[in-house]
Amino acid sequence: MIYTVTFNPSLDYIVSVENFQLGLTNRTSSELMLPGGKGVNVSTVLMNLGIENTALGFAAGFVGDEIVRQMEEMGVQNGFIRIEEGVSRINLKLKSIDGTEINGQGPVISPKHVEELMKRLDRLGEGDVLFLSGSIPASMPDDAYQKIMERLDGRGVQIIVDATKDLLMKVLEYHPFLIKPNNHELGEIFDVELRTREEVIPYAKKLQEKGAVNVLVSMAGEGAVFIDANGDVHMAPAPRGTLVNGVGAGDSMVAGFMAGWLEKQDYEHAFCMGVSAGSASAFSEHLATKAEIETVYQQVRVISNL
């Protein structure tokens, strides 16, 4: 089974407001409510590709109820732990003003709830896949990813980690199957600026030397670089298309990669699926559908075995 973890899921209230004006009453011209959070996005794209999965994390109050309801409506299996106090966060995303959003805080997650999640994760074993995505809420220990990977170490679970800097570096000793920094995050780790695919390669290899099995680096309009478990380098320029919405593109990339890997056990195909899914989401108003991913796949060109 495939599992995703979202410690602090959200209900994203996505609105358009024509001629937005500060200090005045503004009315929406369109609005939409969708479940959000990096792990939730991964679950959504996997379901769009017809791959069953279970979403784990924490849900509280009426917002948590709606997040779970929408996830179940998609076909995602509900593994969320109920938090008795507080309310899951609502994130306001204002489409009319590019990049403008207000994100909620979410509920306080107690040690009791963290331990309940850990016990659910203890059931995972050989052949299972686990996605750990995003930041850790302030109310949780900042070594939560380490603790999860330590508990699952040696049990045959393929773990994908999509996190930044310290969160990422601290889990490398447990040999995650896949990590996916972007070029800016990779540069921040090593205090360098990485603009081209060729510049990314040696630093991606350094993360592999530190323990990551596979390293996938997303680079937005520059495409992506992938160092596979055999040490082979794969690069792809960005597919052609119009950027519509960059939110969730990275989550789509890791979902697409693992969908491709599970389908054929072939690294180049997995890389192509990752690039296709990430780009298809970036070219769409919402997270990519299977048809959109398949369309982009036809134009992905990979340079391998460098």
Per the DSSP assignment, residues forming a β-bridge with 80 are: 57
Tokens of 57: 């994390």
Tokens of 284: 């769409």
Using the structure block, give the residue that is written with the tokens 């205090």: 191
- N-to-C CA span, the chain: 34
Region for 27 from its dihedrals, namely left if φ exceeds 0, alpha if ψ lies in -120 to 50, beta otherwise: beta
Please report, as a single letter, which amino acid is at residue 28.
T
Residues 6+ apart with CB under 8 A from 55: 3, 4, 6, 39, 40, 43, 71, 76, 77, 78, 79, 80
Give CA–CA dist 219/198, Å, rounded: 12
The helix (run of H) or strand (run of E) holding residue 283 is none
Phi, psi of 52 (to 5 degrees): -65, 145
DSSP state of 229: T
User: Which of 104, 117, 92 has its CA nearest to residue 7?
Assistant: 117
For residue 142, indicate whether it is catalytic. no
Give the catalytic positions in this structure: 251
